[in-house]
Amino acid sequence: MVPGLNPQTAQVGGVPSNPSWLPLVVALQMNAVKNAERLRRFHTSNPSWLPLVVNVPMNAADKAELRRQMRRRRRALSAAEQAKAAEQFSARIWPLLRPPACRHVAVYLAVGGELDLTPLIETLWQTGKQVYLPVVTRLAPERLAFCRYQPDTPLQANRYGIGEPVQGTPWPTRHLDAVLLPLTAFDAAGNRLGMGGGFYDRPFAWRRHSGLRKPKLIGVGYDWQEVASIKTEPHDVAVQFIVTNKMLKKCSAR
């Protein structure tokens, strides 16, 4: 039965109607039901239309599911959307990296729709900055070291399919001036959700107790990756800044 329709009195929503209109009323309501179902299927099958998770407290959310949603939405971005966001981001972050005292900058090579740093890396090279890429070490548990990255540096894919320098002496993390971390999700306090391996937590664990503000840890992502809050663990290292294609935010209490 169509909701709101009384077949005995030919009423729609309690209002008497002309019986001759009944077939039309039924057809219109059935069509509305079909359209609603089409719309539901469209949103389900198009990750870029996934709703923003901005009002769901992370202490009640499943981190693994949130990672899947965010990664799916990132992969759904078109090449043009990614290129535009990369240019916007490069201009947005530059005030943090421009000062002459900021000489040693660690970046990353984007995969899976992560915000692309290529335009920024070109600018860093052109302005004489020293650029570094993360290298996954073979220590157990795995952790990151940071090696010099120049335009002619040969790269090879690591076991995760991400390019890293073939050789080079790791630069001490305490001597880096800024580190750009890819984000899966983040909150306003600077808590971050990564890929779950703790790769950036281990090399910067010393910052939690040192009181030092260097290097600047800068989380990088799209503005829609912000959530209301992220439940943290004792080993998690927060970031001091969040920079997206649309905003630069100094995180609270950092």
Task: Specify burial of residue 128 (Cβ count, 10 A radius: 0-12, 13-18, 19+).
Answer: exposed
Contacts of 181 (CB under 8 A, 6+ apart): 108, 192, 194, 200, 217, 218, 219, 220, 239
The whole-number pLDDT of residue 233 equals 72
Please state the separation of Cα 81 from the chain's center in Å: 14
Residue among 217, 189, 221 at smallest CA distance from 67? 221
Mean pLDDT, rounded, for 11-36? 45
Query: Exposed/middle/buried for 124, CB within 10 Å: 0-12, 13-18, 19+?
Result: buried
C-alpha span between 158 and 136 (Å, rounded): 7
- Number of neighbouring beta carbons within 10 Å of residue 193: 24
Residue 41's pLDDT is what? 46
Residues 38 and 182: their CA atoms lie apart, in Å, by 35
pLDDT digits (tens, 9 = 90+) for 128-174: 999 999 998 876 567 789 999 999 999 999 988 899 999 889 999 99
Q: How far apart are CA 186 and CA 66, in angstroms?
A: 11
- C-alpha 221/C-alpha 55 separation (Å) is 18
Q: Please state, in angstroms and rounded to a whole number, the distance separating the CA atoms of residues 116 and 93.
A: 13
Q: What is the mean pLDDT of the chain?
A: 77
Residue found by looking up tokens 């548990």 in the block: 141
What is the reported pLDDT for 210?
Answer: 65
pLDDT at 180: 97
- pLDDT at 57 > cutoff 60: no
Above 80 in pLDDT, residue 65? yes
Higher pLDDT: 46 or 91? It is 91
pLDDT of residue 205: 65
Report the candidate in 186, 196, 185 with the shortest Cα–Cα distance to residue 160.
196
Provide the pLDDT for residue 150: 97
Out of 150-154, 176-180, 195-199, pick the least confident. Answer: 195-199
More confident residue, 32 or 72: 72
User: Hey, is 79 helix, strand or coil?
Assistant: helix
Q: Give the residue with greater pLDDT, 30 vs 100.
A: 100
- The structure tokens 């039309």 sit at 24
Mean pLDDT score, 226-246:
85
At 76, list the tokens: 């759904």
